[in-house]
Amino acid sequence: MTPRYEIRAVSPDDAEDLAELASFLDSVNLPHDPAEIAPIIERSERSFAGLIEPAKREYRFVLRDLEEDRAIGTSLIVAQLGRRDAPYIYFQVRTEERYSQSLDKHFVHRVLSIGYSYDGPTEIGGLVMNPAYRRVADKLGLQISYVRFLFIAMRRSLFRDELLAELLPPLEPDGTSHLWEAVGRRFTDMTYRDADKLSKRNKEFIRGLFPEGDIYASLLSDEAQGVIGEVGPQTKGVEKMLRRIGFRYVQRIDPFDGGPHFTAPTAEVSLVQRAYVATAALGAPTSTRRALFATEHESSPWFRAIAAPFAPEDDRVTIDPEVAERLGLHEGAAVWVLPLD
């Protein structure tokens, strides 16, 4: 079986394709700005090479169509979101009840309180797929999403005991955030995009300008209240996957756009638990089951993974010889496995 698709660490050869992927979802982790692409790739390469201290590493993966010789998807692991030089910042969402006996009036208010963490979780993010490949039968979006959990299992000591995923809330067609217009812009006099971009490299302005006291959501517009903790249509599928593998909404939101934060203990995420190392046996798998097979390398591209049929037996797993060759495996070599079903 000649593999059609593979996942590997990003490399400079992917710059043009990564820029195209950024055009599908302009975000702080993958901005639609050609000048930002080279630094993103360089940080990832230095992370895989171990040339950056562990807490500052950012591992970027690309899903490649080998026949077309192009990257068609990408995802990211931020080793630690929240350090002394760059805190993890969020709004904690809580409720507060008020009651007047004399008026017999009762209200339940949602209250936003800004929070900072300097010893934060590992972030799972940066998931972007070329729309033309979303309906492919190979479940390519699932592969580029799952590979992050496989890599965390492979290099468990490099990551935190909590994983976090920030989901996008409903945004306007032009990218406007109603929560930002109601809160952030009033305290910073910046556009949502400018503030989001600046926050990637400088978070001081948030602590310096954002209010430290409580913000009562009932004082905001209905549109701003409506996006607090809500999952946007473009990330409904991601929410479903996260809940299935053990993540939960923790009443924290992005302070800019109101997108919900989902977390899970790393050791309790089902995909991390299911990943294991096996001995490769080259042959034709008779099973219809599929798995992600992964290997690490001492030079670029550092990491490769391919989804293929597999037949597990005790501590051995049968792998198609062409898949094994692409992964650099020989008979009896160690290979990491994450079952996909």
Residue 259: predicted pLDDT: 95
Domain layout of the chain by residue ranges: 275-339
Establish how many alpha carbons lie within 13 A of residue 45's alpha carbon, considering only the half-sphere containing its beta carbon.
Answer: 15
Residue 201's pLDDT is what?
Answer: 82
Q: What pLDDT is recorded for position 162?
A: 98
User: How many residues appear in the chain?
Assistant: 341
Whether 125 contacts 164, CB under 8 Å: no
> Would you list the DSSP string of 56-124?
G-EEEEEEEETTTTEEEEEEEEES-S-BTTB-EEEEEEEEEEEEETTTTEEEEEEEEEEEEESS--EEE
- In this prediction the pTM is 0.94
Q: What confidence score (pLDDT) does residue 173 get?
A: 84
Residue 233 phi/psi, 5° resolution?
Answer: -60, -30
What fold, for 275-339? Barwin-like endoglucanases (2.40.40)
Taking Cα atoms as reference points, which of 233, 45, 241 lies closest to residue 141? 241
pLDDT of 288 reads 84
As averages over each run of 10 residues, the pLDDT of the chain (341 residues) reads 94 96 86 90 97 97 97 97 93 96 96 96 96 87 97 98 95 88 94 87 90 93 95 92 97 95 98 97 89 95 95 90 95 96 80
Contacts by 259-262, CB closer than 8 A, 24 or more apart: 259/166, 259/167, 259/168, 259/169, 259/231, 259/232, 260/166, 260/167, 260/169, 260/229, 260/230, 260/231, 261/90, 261/164, 261/165, 261/166, 261/167, 262/164, 262/165, 262/166, 262/167
Q: Are strands 290-296 and 303-309 parallel, antiparallel or unpaired?
A: antiparallel
pLDDT score at 238: 93
